[in-house]
């Protein structure tokens, strides 16, 4: 599956140009030019990395990023900045952005940072799935110890079904 990027900028020409360049690097790119567009795209659930421009509206962009990360903690955010907006980029980094790229944008470097953000995202998702696996097995053991074997078996069987569904979904992608 192609990495899914949401490019956020108010300048439609910039969106079109950078979007086309990123697509040449086999990235699936969606664009948004307003806060409303951002949350529509994020709620679709098909975004891995957000490229958020803080150059023109720094404070509002950082607030939007914080809101987006609160609503969708699974996403990574890379901020696009310049010398004048470096303060807002630093504020965004303190609030949880993965990285900041300053203009002029080197597309190769940007693609590399997107790849690094995806690795962090996948690593975090792996830890999350392991902790869920551990939690469920501990619950099943607790039920079994209390003599509730049907409940324990049901918990263990639910994991097998979700693994099979996940494998089917991944093989169809």
User: By the 8 A CB rule, do 8 and 52 touch?
Assistant: yes
What pLDDT, in 10s, does the model give residues 51-63?
Answer: 999 998 889 999 9
Average pLDDT value for the chain: 83
- What are the residues whose beta carbons fall under 8 Å from the beta carbon of 5, sequence distance 6 or more? 22, 27, 28, 29, 30, 47, 48, 49, 50, 51, 114
What pLDDT, in 10s, does the model give residues 72-112?
Answer: 988 999 999 999 999 999 999 999 999 999 988 889 999 99
**How far apart are the C-alpha atoms of 102 and 110, rounded to whole Å?**
10
- Checking if the pLDDT of 171 tops 50, the result is no
Helix (H, G, I), strand (E, B) or coil at 96: coil
**How far apart are the C-alpha atoms of 74 and 124, rounded to whole Å?**
8
Query: What are the sequence ranges of the domains in the chain?
Result: 4-122, 124-172
**How far apart are the C-alpha atoms of 52 and 76, rounded to whole Å?**
10
Instruction: Tell me yes or no: is domain 4-122 CATH 2.60.410.10.
Output: no
- The pTM (predicted TM-score) of the whole model is 0.70
- What are the residues whose beta carbons fall under 8 Å from the beta carbon of 85, sequence distance 6 or more? 54, 55, 56, 58
User: By the 8 A CB rule, do 60 and 85 touch?
Assistant: no
Residue count of the chain: 173
Question: 141-150: b or e for each residue (b if 16 or more CB lie within 10 Å)?
Answer: eebbeeeeee
3-state SS of 132-167?
A: HHHHHHHHHHHHHHCCCHHHHHHHHHHHHHHHHHHH
């Amino acid at each position: 599956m192609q990495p899914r990027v949401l490019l956020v900028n108010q300048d439609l020409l910039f969106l079109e140009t950078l979007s086309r360049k990123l697509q040449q690097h086999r990235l699936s790119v969606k664009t948004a030019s307003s806060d409303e567009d951002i949350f529509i795209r994020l709620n679709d659930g098909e975004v891995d990395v957000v490229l958020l421009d803080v150059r023109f509206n720094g404070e509002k962009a950082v607030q939007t990023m914080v809101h987006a990360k609160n609503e969708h903690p699974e996403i990574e955010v890379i901020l696009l900045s310049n010398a004048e907006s470096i303060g807002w980029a630093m504020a965004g980094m303190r609030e949880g952005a993965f990285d900041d790229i300053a203009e002029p944008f080197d597309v190769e470097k940007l693609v590399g940072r997107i790849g690094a953000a995806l690795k962090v995202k996948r690593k975090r998702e792996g830890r999350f799935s392991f902790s869920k696996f551990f939690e469920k097995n501990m619950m099943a053991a607790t039920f079994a110890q209390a003599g509730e074997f049907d409940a324990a078996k049901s918990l263990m069987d639910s994991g097998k079904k979700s693994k099979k569904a996940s494998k089917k979904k991944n093989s169809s992608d």
